[in-house]
Structure 1
C-alpha cells in the first residue's frame, strides 16, 4: 500500500468492487421431515423465523460446534450461522455431469432452497443478502463445503453406483451452495424472485 504524508497506509492500490444486485428464481423450497432426518422434502412454502425453519434439523439461534470448527472443543455452543442451506440448479447439474449422474436432487444433500439464474451461486461472497419476494431475507455466511455425508445420501438414492461418497466432495468443491442465517423473517415460495444484494468486495492482503 502507498503511504500518505503522515506515513499511514492508503487504499490506492486496492481494487474495491462496488456493491450490486443479481436476480434469480426460487425453484424449490424444502425442509427436513423431522429433526432426525438429513435429507429434505418439498414444501409449498417455507416460513422463516429468527430461529430458521421451525422443526428443521438445522433450526435454532445457536448450535453445537463440530468438525468444521476445530478452534472450539466439539459440542461448544455457538451462534447458528447455518440455519438455511441454499443450492443452485445450474451448479447441481454441473456436479451431476462430472459425477456421470443423470441428476442430483437438492433434497438429497439437505438443501432448503433451490435457486436458478444466479451465475456461480456458490461464489457469492459472505454478507450477501438474499432478499425473497415473500419478505424473507437470508444473510450469507459462506460456501457450504461438500462432505461425505452428502455424498453418502446421493449414494443411497443412486444405489447402482459405488464410491459416490468420495466423489461428491471433489466434484462439489465450490459448487455445493451456501449456508446462511435469517436476517428478516418471512416466507419463501417456489416460483418467486430472489435478489442477491452483493456488498462491496475487496481482497484483504
Structure 2
C-alpha cells in the first residue's frame, strides 16, 4: 500500500454496523393504482414488486423530476416501492407548519414506525427486518414535494400556501423509500429491527 493510500485509510472514520429496534404502528396502501393518498389496512402483503395493486408497485418505474440525469419517462429500476414514516417526525413537521396533525395517509405513507430515532436519516443499504421475516432494503430519504403538500393542504382548506410550505419544513423528516428484499406479510404491532451497515464519509480529495 502506498503512503498516500495509507494516509487515506487513516483519514476515513468508519462507524461499525449496529442495530436499532422499533415497532410497526400502522400499515397503509392505496385503494387504486391512480390514488396518491393511502388508507389503513390490517396487514400488508409484500412481494418482490412491492405492495400488489399499490400506486408504487412494480419491478420498474418511469423516471421523473427526481432523476434529471434521465429523460423523463425512462424505464428504470423501482427502488421506491414503499414509503416508510415516523410518527415523531410527522408530529415535528406538523409543529413546524403550525398544524394540528399530519396523517401518514395524506402523504401516501405505507408504514408508520416507532422506536427508531431520526428515521429519515437512516443511511442507504439499511435493512428493515420484520418479526415475520420480511425484509425491506432502504434506498434513501424521500424528498418532500409540492404534490404531498397539496394533499396536506386539502385537509386544511382555511390555510394558504401549505403546498409550498411542506417541502420547506419537511426536509430531513419526510421518511424513507425502499424496496422489498424478502417478501412476506406484515401486521401492525410487529417488531422491526433496522440493521445499519458499516458507514463512512467518502472524502472528496
* TM-score between both structures, scaled by the size of structure 1: 0.96
Decide which of 21, 39, 42 is 2:40's aligned counterpart.
Answer: 42
Determine the structure 2 residue equivalent to 1:151: 149
2:52 paired residue number? 54
Secondary structure of 1:93's match? Answer: helix
SS at match of 1:157: coil
> Partner residue of 2:191?
193
1:88 equivalent in alignment to 2:86: yes
Task: Extract structure 1 runs of 4+ deviating beyond 2 A.
Answer: none
Task: Determine if the alignment matches structure 1 residue 119 to structure 2 residue 106.
Answer: no
Matches of 1:126 and 1:167, distance apart in 2: 27
Query: SS of the residue aligned with 1:12?
Result: helix
* Number of aligned positions between the proteins: 201
> Normalising by the residue count of structure 2, what TM-score does the alignment of the two structures yield?
0.96
Distance (Å, rounded) in 1 between the aligned partners of 2:43 and 2:158? 33
Partner residue, 1:9: 5
1:159, CA displacement in angstroms?
A: 1.4
Q: 1:163 aligns with which of 157, 161, 168?
A: 161
Unaligned runs of 5+ in 2: none
Deviation of 1:96 after TM superposition, in Å, equals 0.3
How far residue 8 of structure 1 moved from its aligned partner, in angstroms, is: 5.0
SS in 1 for 2:90: helix
What SS is found at the alignment partner of 1:21?
strand
The reply to whether residue 203 of structure 1 matches residue 201 of structure 2 is yes
CA RMSD of aligned residues (A): 0.9
